[in-house]
Amino acid sequence: MTAILELDHLTRAFGGLKAVDDVSTQVHQGELFGLIGPNGAGKTTLFNLISGFTPPSSGEVRFKGEVITGLSAHKIAHKGMSRTFQNLRVFPNMTVFDNISVGALGMIGVGPISSLFGGKARAKDISERSYEMLERVGLADHADDLAANLSYGKRKYLEIARALAMKPDLLILDEPAAGMNDSETTELAHFITGLNKEGLTIMLVEHDMGLVMGICERLVVLASGRKIADDVPAVVRQDPGVLEAYLGGDEG
């Protein structure tokens, strides 16, 4: 299988604390890959290292065979990697359509000012891509609503839609089910697996064990910044080190 993302001895230290400690793994093209671990394990820090929001102390990140270590977040995004955030980053005083247009602008590699001078064709591309994503996440009827007026669950989908508007080769989802009830989480699981079946590579960090165990093909488990397991869910579920670190030694 072809690796779309490769992490090679990735480390990030904050003072004397190693939030991510010598982590190596690969994410394969077309894979639905999960990252789990207890609170403080370093999951979000690892996502930030991958997507360029935090520079590593040492180690290397390769995306589609290219070294991207140290590149800025927007340059990495333009190479085909987009992400959501654990804490929602929608623009509450912009319309739903305009929120998604931000992602569509990123997809064609221009900023809002330069897009004004790109002619009707560019504006048409942005508009079509934005409405396509609105329909994809079921928000077409809310296009003209302020993002602030959406429910929490719909704002989650809005952030995913904005990431998808960039036409990523790799989509990174940081706790997309946080704050959702059981039925909303089930619906989200179907949505994520649907994206993956369409060929999109997805990297997911999530505390909902039922979700990650149910939809991910492979899991990496972090504890205190270090990788303690890297296998299919059925194997990870029985790993003694995982049970001790993540589940407190209780398989149930």
Per residue in 28-43, pLDDT tens?
A: 999 999 999 988 899 9
**pLDDT at residue 251 tops 50:** no
10 shares a domain with 25: yes
Query: What average pLDDT is seen over the chain?
Result: 88
Note the pLDDT of residue 192.
97
Indicate if 158 and 178 belong to the same structural domain: no
193 and 154 co-located in one domain = no
Whole-number pLDDT of residue 18: 94
Domain count across the chain = 2
> Do 150 and 223 fall within a single domain?
no
Residue 158 confidence (pLDDT) above 80? yes
- On whether both 101 and 27 belong to a single domain, the answer is no
pLDDT score recorded for residue 245 = 81
Which has the higher per-residue pLDDT, 218 or 252? 218
* CATH code of residue 216: 3.40.50.300
The whole-number pLDDT of residue 248 equals 58
Percent of the chain with pLDDT over 70: 89
CA–CA distance, 244 with 250 (Å, rounded to integer): 7
The range of the structural domain enclosing residue 52 comes to 1-80+171-252
Q: Verify that 198 and 242 share a domain, yes or no.
A: yes
pLDDT cut 90: percent of the chain above it: 63
Q: Which tops the pLDDT comparison, 218 or 130?
A: 218
Residue that wins the pLDDT comparison between 77 and 7: 7
Mark whether 74 and 8 lie in a shared domain. Answer: yes
Residues 60 and 179 in one domain: yes
pTM of the model: 0.87
Asked if 51 and 120 sit in the same domain, the reply is: no
pLDDT of residue 249: 44
pLDDT above 80 for 125: no
Measure the CA–CA gap between 60 and 242, rounded to whole angstroms. Answer: 26
Spell 124-159 as b/e; 16+ CB within 10 A means b. ebbeebbbebbebbebeebbeeebeebeebbbbbbb
Picking from 238, 184, 231, 229, the residue whose alpha carbon sits closest to that of residue 211 is: 184
Among 141, 167, 193, give the residue marking a domain's end: 167
Last residue of a domain, one of 167, 195, 212: 167
Residue ending a domain, among 167, 195, 224, is 167
Same domain, 112 and 228: no
Is 74 in the same domain as 135?
A: no
Q: How confident is the model over 47-86, as pLDDT tens digits?
A: 999 999 999 999 999 999 999 998 999 899 989 999 998 7
pLDDT at 252 over 50: no
For the chain, the straight-line distance linking the first and the last C-alpha, in angstroms and rounded, comes to 33
Pair 76, 179 in one domain: yes
